[in-house]
Amino acid sequence: MSLPEAYQKEIEALNQQLLSFNPTDILQFCADHFLQRLASERAAFLASNSSASPRKTSDPPSPSMSNPTFTSPFGSGSNPFGSGNMQNVIEEEDDVVGSPTGPSFGNKATPAFKGPFGAGPFGGDSSSDGPPSAFRSPPNADSYPAQYNFNRRTSVSAESLKPVADTDDNWTPPVHQKTPEQLARLKKAIEGNFLFSHLDEEQNNLILGALQEKPIPAKDIKVITQGDTGDYFYVVEKGKFDVYVHNGPANELGRELGNKVTTIEAGGSFGELALMYNSPRAATVVSAEPGCTLWAVDRTTFRRILMESTFARRRMYEGFLGEVPLLSSLTAWERSKIADALETLKFPAGTIIITEGEPGDSFYLLEEGEAHAFKSGNSNPVMEYKKGDFFGELALLNDAPRAASVIAKTDVKVATLDKLAFQRLLGPVEGIMRRTRYDGVASGVEDVDPLSAPA
Amino acid sequence: MAATLASANPFQPGGGLHPCQLRAQQQAQQQRASQSHLSSSDTNSQPLISSNRKLTLADFRRVRTLGTGTFARVVLVRPATGTESDRQKVYALKILRKTEVIKLRQIDHVRHERAILSDVSGHPFITNLLASFSDTDFLYLLLDYVPGGELFSYLRKWRRFDEDMARFYAAEIVLILEFLHEQQGGVAYRDLKPENLLLDEEGHIKLVDFGFAKRLGNNANEKGNNPVETYTLCGTPEYLAPEVIQNKGHTTAVDWWALGILIYEFLTGYPPFWHQNPIEIYKQIVEKPITFPSDPFLSPEAKDIIKQFCTVDRSRRLGNISGGAAKVKAHPFFRGVDWDAVYHRRDKGPIVPPVRFPGDAQCFDIYPEEDVGRDPYTEEMRDRYDEYFKDF
């Protein structure tokens, strides 16, 4: 029997390589050579079938889903031999585990490829190592969440954004006019969405202002297309939209809509993932009737609005904190930690924010509005507070009762932090105070804060 | 462009380095024949990697790909020239395609990666940058080759780890985060997951891929007013911290959250928040308390440390609260851990990868060797962007 022609070709190629490199470690050289050959041969094979390989969705803008996804170099799900889909992995749970990291790991669909060294990827007999002590039997396989995807997970990233304060441009959020009725409808449409529900009123208003009208005059207009790059989030003001998901090979996308999975009506929304990062659309959305109206906002606008407002507020908090004598020795990093933990509260005019005689556990920064401090038996305020002032900070230091009441003069917004949160983050205030010579400052605190009881 | 050497001298022996790496370094430094049977006697050629030598792709022979991404590929390489023993050395070469870096608006991330990697090189559990260089189309990072493959592969094959194994890896990661956050001036890593943890020859962790790492600054003695929080959303969906999802500005605290997710995944085989639709993952992360399966059984200490890391309120999150990493080390989950022994790698890992020779790549999966359908790096792009890559 003669040797196969393909084999002879490989050997000839190897001979050529050997001659040109003249290595001393022949075996190593041959092993490297064939590994390289194998990898490129498999790659060529795959390129011809690439669309069959299931893939996680986080692709960059690309017409074909078969491109490797955006990922960190080790994070790709594009490994041809390891990219078995769920079903394959689950089937394999019954198998005896022969090797922990074989190239064919997790995929029964390519049983022919057992790795370059024969019996198995770890080539039990060709390796001088015994099985590592840890490779006994695996723990019992059971109770995985249904449909859990065992593949490598793709990293995601939004465009890097820097606050205006750090850059030269003069970005301001776009404002598109809306009627009060429209505003009310849009507000209702987004308030239940977890990407919006935690926003404060100011942020919400900026986002609502930035929503831009997109009239969809006719039926059967594709608003978003599965697999396409996604930049916009949409709210439906008027009309109906059908949602289709196509589960076939990626290269059929665009030709077929796939199955209709749901209909979105007025007050609904879609495309929210695009507000986080650029990822291919998971479905196609088509207008189901003429005369529809959508409102849209893009990721960069959304993220910039939130970033600018958060950034400004944090700098404000840090500035306020810098004014508190008790906290004057905090580093920028520590002030930032405190700013993380500050909680915003609003009080209507006339509300008692803290009550004289009660134990103090929280400290307040006045963000907006004005407040007064009163002491019992004295109808005139003993202190007036405006934006940037603070009160109750001695609560961070001791449990002494409040020395005065503070009442909101106007509607106020305060940022507050309780003693326990402060201590969890930075330890006892006493320790912070000890960093700087604090002699004499005690009385300074008294001067600033009428709420402190005389020591 | 001249090859720039990592600021920490990569050829400095010691520093808790792996004997295998030490060996490679000694070879480079002293140019003597190693005791390996692979090497023959040496002559007096220049070392491949030195600060006064310009590296190019032609200095390397590609063995095979170890991992791929959209704009990056990591390739196992050997020196193309030099003595026979030079040519037996192996390195991991990370190749980044400029066009894709620009298109995906990842220029800042790539620059941070280069800068931070060179700052943190030499830590026992972090991949070691040897040099960087560039040519017309690509940027290159030359790294020590870590032969054991991804912890991800072992975890999936094993389904899950028992608590002793999980503790072993978690302890090494705690030391990494302590180093990055507290000794390196507030470096947030931002992409912790089993896929980014390699095992070296003795089964110790090497953290790779600093593509999302960012220096935020936390010097406790520094009273400047530079913001320390950052806003760019990045990471891996299942591992994102709630403050990242909600755009609140985030800090190094995100890495402690991710460590909680990681320990959970080690112990159960899957992450606590998962759904086929990423939006549902994010909703769960923000709204849903972490729950544990009845099987496998998790010890109260394990559950507690996971819950303490995965706490939405950053004023309560372990690692971020007063005491920092020291408080993490004192948690009952790590009771009995000799942290000095961990740092000095006194024990072999619970999984010792079957690495048979220094350039053995059998622990890595096979990837396609060719890129397809790439856009060219045009002259306009070069004129506009090449200055951003000048540190390579």
pLDDT tens track for A394-445: 888 887 889 899 999 999 999 999 888 998 998 888 887 777 544 444 333 3
Are B308 and B192 within one domain? yes
The CATH number linked to B118 is 3.30.200.20
> For A112-126, B99-113, B276-290, which range has the lowest pLDDT when averaged over its residues?
A112-126
Same domain, B177 and B270: yes
- Per-residue tokens: A62: 């690309």
The answer to whether the annotation marks B89 as part of a ligand binding site is no
Shared domain for B141 and B154, answered yes or no, is: no
Is the CB of B89 inside 8 Å of chain A's CB atoms?
A: no
Is the predicted pLDDT of residue B339 greater than 90, yes or no? yes
Co-location of B333 and B384 in the same domain: no
Confidence band (pLDDT; 50, 70, 90) for A147? low
Mean pLDDT of A199-213: 93
On whether any CB of chain A is under 8 Å from the CB of B238, the answer is yes
pLDDT by residue (tens digit) across B185-196? 899 999 999 999
pLDDT tops 50 at residue B42: no
The answer to which of A21-30, B33-42, B91-100, B275-284 has the lowest mean pLDDT is B33-42
Structural domain includes residue B273:
yes
- Residue A251's pLDDT is 65
> Which pLDDT value is given to residue A102?
36
A332 interface with B at CB cutoff 8 Å: yes
Report the percent of chain A where pLDDT is more than 70: 69
A99 in contact with chain B, both atoms CB, cutoff 8 A? yes
Interchain pair A161, B231: CB under 8 A: yes
Lowest mean pLDDT among A251-255, A446-450, B166-170: A446-450
**A29/B311: higher pLDDT:** B311
Percentage of chain B beyond pLDDT 70 is 84
What is d(CA A38, CA A113) in angstroms, rounded to the nearest whole number?
10
Residue B23 covered by a domain: no
Output the DSSP codes for A105-155: TT-TT-TT---TTSSSTT-TTT-SS---TT-SPPPPP--PPTT---SPPPP
The pLDDT value recorded for residue B146 is 96
Question: Is the pLDDT reported for residue A106 higher than 60?
Answer: no
Interface of B with A in 6-35 (CB under 8 A): none
CATH code that applies to domain A180-248+257-305:
2.60.120.10
Note which residues in 156-185 of chain B have CB less than 8 A from chain A. Answer: 156-160, 162, 165
**Cβ-based contacts under 8 A for chains A and B:** 326
- Structural domain containing residue B81: 57-147+359-388
Please indicate, yes or no, whether residues B71 and B93 belong to a single structural domain of this protein.
yes
B192 with B322, same domain?
yes
Total number of residues shown for chain B: 392
Distance (Å) of CA B332 to CA A7, B162, B292, B359: 60, 16, 18, 40
Tell me which of 2.60.120.10, 3.20.20.120, 3.40.50.300, 3.50.50.60 is the CATH number of domain A324-434: 2.60.120.10
Both B307 and B261 in one domain: the answer is yes
- pLDDT for residue B287: 92
Lowest mean pLDDT among A402-416, B26-40, B135-149, B304-318: B26-40
Q: Is residue B48 part of a domain?
A: no
Whether residue B347 lies within 8 A of chain A, CB to CB, comes out as no
Range with lowest mean pLDDT among A103-117, B88-102, B320-334: A103-117
Q: Are A370 and A410 in contact (CB under 8 A)?
A: yes
Q: Is residue B13 assigned to a domain? A: no
Query: Which chain B residues are Cβ-neighbours of A198 within 8 angstroms?
Result: 246, 286
- Which residues, at least 6 apart from A18, have a Cβ–Cβ distance to it below 8 Å? A26, A29, A30
Confidence of residue A212 (pLDDT cuts 50, 70, 90): very high
Closest CB to B68: pick one of A73, A123, A425.
Answer: A73
Beta carbons within 8 Å of A217's beta carbon, 6+ residues apart: A290, A291, A292
Say if B21 falls within a structural domain: no
Q: For residue range A275-286, list pLDDT tens digits in order.
A: 999 888 999 999
User: Does residue A67 register a pLDDT over 50?
Assistant: no
Write out pLDDT tens, residues A225-250.
998 989 999 999 999 999 999 887 76
The residue with greater pLDDT, A162 or B328, is B328
Active-site annotation holder among B59, B86, B191, B255: B191
User: Is the same domain home to B183 and B143?
Assistant: no
- The count of structural domains within chain B is 2
Look at B70 and A36 and tell me if their CB atoms are within 8 Å. Answer: no
Distance from CA of A408 to the nearest CA of B (A): 27
Contacts of B204 (CB under 8 A, 6+ apart): B18, B124, B125, B172, B345, B349
B190 and B332 co-located in one domain: yes
Domain boundary assignment for chain A: 180-248+257-305, 324-434
With CB atoms and an 8 Å threshold, state whether B104 touches A122: no
Residue B42 catalytic? no
The confidence band for A146, taking pLDDT boundaries of 50, 70 and 90, is low
Closest listed residue to residue A138, CA positions, set A93, A201, A204, A82: A93
Could you count the other beta carbons within 10 Å of the beta carbon of residue B339? 15
Check residue A48 and give its pLDDT.
Answer: 54
- Say if B49 falls within a structural domain: no
Query: B30 lies in a domain?
Result: no
Whether A180-248+257-305 shares its CATH topology with A324-434 is answered yes
Non-local (6+) Cβ contacts of A112 within 8 A are none
Confidence of residue A143 (pLDDT cuts 50, 70, 90): low
What is the mean pLDDT of the segment spanning B133-139? Answer: 93
Between CA A237 and CA A295 the distance in angstroms is 7
Structure tokens at A72: 């960190």
A446 pLDDT above the threshold of 80: no
CA distance A120 to A60: 36
Q: Give the predicted TM-score (pTM) of the model.
A: 0.76
Residue B270 sits in the same domain as residue B131: no
Please check whether residues B124 and B250 belong to one and the same domain.
Answer: no
Residues B99 and B238 both lie in one domain? no
Highest mean pLDDT out of A10-19, A91-100, A121-130, A175-184: A175-184
pLDDT recorded at residue B3: 42
Say if the Cβ atoms of B233 and A273 lie within 8 Å.
no
In a domain, B183, yes or no: yes
